[in-house]
Homo-oligomer: A and B are copies of this chain.
């Protein structure tokens, strides 16, 4: 069985849909490669165009600017991840197992899954860890939010919050805990690799230790929780 995963993206994320043309798909493929290699700051449309064998203006036909391209990549990632989570949690009823699988999917290394040829999910995961928060840490975050550019992120957050409430419907901060899980699953991995003294994982570079930390954090919070009033 061979399936082609197609993620429906918000129209405002791009000028022209990159999934529908050869150049568009090359833009996605090579921007992931270049951003992962050299970081978002040193990434330019000029360099990307040279890499592809096209021109700067050609890229601008698809994306307004490089920041919009980053938002597109993050939105794609969160949509893909929500699909993956939904898929892996299918037919599981125990919220404990659901949460554990979920944390695993968030913090563990991603293996490129060939569901889309032109997206290397493993590299994209590394981009989200190192550059993802730059998508919303801007002065125009509220306007971008009005254009629903962050909807995939918020959807994933809602999904997680729902599972938290399944586990304990009295828990008072399901959404904040959900966004904490998502952000920490990434940030603790980043710290482990780059600023290890901010973690307890030394230079082990073992993502499984981050999974254990977050599981502990989450379950002790929701297990022993009582309404404060």
Partner of A213, one of B139, B176, B198: B176
Contact mask for chain A residues 155-194; partner B; CB cutoff 8 A; 1 contact, 0 none:
0011000000000000011111111100110011011001
Find residues 132-160 in chain A having any chain B CB closer than 8 Å to their own CB: 133-134, 136-139, 141-142, 145, 150, 153-154, 157-158
CA distance A191 to B137 in the complex (A): 10
Instruction: Give the interface size class of chain A.
Output: 35 or more
CA distance A180 to B214 in the complex (A): 10
**Nearest neighbor of A187 in chain B, beta-carbon distance:** B183
Judged by a CB distance under 8 angstroms, whether A20 is at the interface is no
A201 touches B221 (CB 8 A): no
CA distance A216 to B194 in the complex (A): 29
**Nearest neighbor of A139 in chain B, beta-carbon distance:** B39
B224 touches A220 (CB 8 A): yes
Question: With A197-B175, A216-B173 known to touch, is A138 a contact of B41 (CB < 8 Å)?
Answer: yes
Judged by a CB distance under 8 angstroms, whether A109 is at the interface is no
Known: A172-B200, A177-B217. 5 other contacts (CB 8 A): A175-B198, A176-B200, A176-B213, A183-B187, A224-B224
Judged by a CB distance under 8 angstroms, whether A130 is at the interface is yes
A198 touches B138 (CB 8 A): no
B199 touches A175 (CB 8 A): yes
By CB atoms of chain B within 10 A, which of A194, A223, A225 has the most? A194
Judged by a CB distance under 8 angstroms, whether A131 is at the interface is yes
Q: A141 contacts which chain B residues (CB < 8 A)?
A: 194-195
Judged by a CB distance under 8 angstroms, whether A90 is at the interface is no
**Nearest neighbor of A184 in chain B, beta-carbon distance:** B180
CA distance A42 to B141 in the complex (A): 14
Question: With A172-B216, A176-B201, A224-B223 known to touch, is A195 a contact of B150 (CB < 8 Å)?
Answer: yes
B172 touches A198 (CB 8 A): no
